[in-house]
Amino acid sequence: MERLVAIGEAAEALGVSVTTLRRWEASGKLVADHTAGGHRRYDLVKLKPDLFRAEADTRRTIAYARVSSHDQQDDLARQKQVLELYCARQGWAFEVIADLGSGMNYHKKGLKRLLSGILAGEVGRLVIAHKDRLLRFGAELVFAICEAKAVEVVILNQGEDTTCEEDLAKDVLEMLTVFSARPYGSRSRKNQTLLDGVKKAVEEAQA
């Protein structure tokens, strides 16, 4: 069913006459959209949302959890438990997708599955514990895609993620490893020494 319809179809959907619909518009009770040619079009989602409710209900709620490494399995289990409890309390039918990998890795199996579902119009709601659980950098881009696809995003913790210092350290180490593998010309030895020193400091901070 089309969302934007002509006045006759809108009146029929509402069970009123065209005259009544025109009177409602004149009084400001409803507002019509206009095509490039100046023709009135009425949004049935606004006029009669129950017509589209069944379609909206078919989209899934996805709860997404992530940690960086195998030694954080306990953190992953706690994260999933929090998400499951929250979704259950809201009365949502939901599915949990869990990933094991760096927040800087855009090729994780679970993340790719999540994005495919969003782009295909199969996901209606995304629930995460903290935005960094989605991606370390680039979460805002995913949120923009969600907005374009009318996907509700629920972030349980809007503040700083104080439980992921170890996760952040692993991401920093991964980034340093990538940079240290690149050539640096005549100053490569000096830069390599500097990077090795930073990596050592991060590793000692984790100990």
One digit per residue, the tens of pLDDT, for the chain of length 207 reads: 457 788 888 888 888 888 888 888 888 777 788 777 778 888 877 777 665 554 445 789 999 999 888 888 899 999 999 999 999 999 899 999 999 887 667 788 999 999 999 999 999 999 999 888 888 777 888 999 999 999 999 999 865 554 555 555 555 555 555 455 555 554 556 555 655 655 565 455 555
The dihedral built from the CA positions of residue 8, 12, 16 and 17, taken in this order, carries a sign that is positive
The CATH H-level (homologous superfamily) assignment of domain 59-155 is Resolvase, N-terminal catalytic domain (3.40.50.1390)
Q: What is the pTM of this model?
A: 0.54
Is 69 one of the catalytic residues?
no
Instruction: Exactly one of 68, 69, 186, 188 is catalytic; name it.
Output: 68
Hey, what's the torsion of the CAs at 184, 186, 188, 193, to 10 degrees? -150
Q: Report domain extents, the chain.
A: 4-51, 59-155, 165-206
Question: CATH says 4-51 is which class?
Answer: mainly alpha
